[in-house]
Amino acid sequence: MTACIRPVAPDEIPLLGPIEKSAGELFRAHGMDDVADGGHMPAKFILSFTRFGGALVADVDGSVAGFALVAAYDRHAHLYEVSVAREFQGRGIGRLLVEAACNWASSQSHVALTLSTFSDVPWNAPFYAKLGFKVLPESEWSPAFHVLRGREEDAGLDISRRVFMRKELS
C-alpha cells in the first residue's frame, strides 16, 4: 500500500461524504448511533477549504481513502475533520493526514493546530494525544472556541464528552 497525501481535486469532493459516513460507522460500537447516523458536510463547505484552507486527501493506489480539512481559525489553524474509509483504517492513513494538516498549518505560518473531538473514543482524543496534541482547558478557550462549542451542542453532540486539543507546531 502506498499512500500519497495531496490536495483534493474538485471532482473528488462528492467522494468525501461517503468516506465520512463510512468512518462514522465506527461510532456504533461505542453506543453513538446518533453520530454514525449524522449527515455529512455539504460540498460547498468542503469546497471552501480548497480556496481558504487545506483540503487534503489520502490517495491509496488511485483510490481516495480518506481526507482532512484544515483552515485558519481564530489565531491558529484548526483541523475540522479527519475521516478514513473503513476499508482503509488501521493502516496509518489518519496519522498521515494529521501530519499533512500540521505541515499545511506550518506552511501558513500558524504556530499551533487545534481540533475538537470526543475525549473517550479511542480513535479521537487518545489518538491525537499520541500525535502530540494536548487538551486545552476551558480557561484557555478564545471566544471562537465558545462559538464552536455552541455549534456542536446545536448539532446534538454530547458536549460532556468533547474536548478541544492543541498541538504546538515548530
CB of 86 within 8 A of CB of 23? Answer: yes
- Please calculate the CA angle 170-60-117 and round it to the nearest 5 degrees: 50
CB of 1 within 8 A of CB of 60? Answer: yes
Which sequence spans correspond to the domains of the chain? 3-168
Residue (of 73, 52, 168, 64) closest to 116 by Cα position: 73
**Three cell numbers written together for 82:** 479527519
Using CA atoms, how far residue 140 sits from 17, 75, 125, 166, in Å, is 33, 13, 18, 11
> Per residue of the chain (170 residues), what is the pLDDT tens digit?
788 999 999 999 999 999 999 998 888 888 888 888 877 788 899 999 999 989 999 999 999 999 999 999 988 999 999 999 999 999 999 999 999 999 999 999 999 999 999 999 988 999 999 999 999 999 999 999 999 999 999 988 888 999 999 999 97
Q: Any idea which architecture 3-168 has in CATH?
A: 3-Layer(aba) Sandwich (3.40)
List b or e across 47-57, with b for residues whose CB sees 16 or more CB atoms inside 10 angstroms: eebeeebbbbb
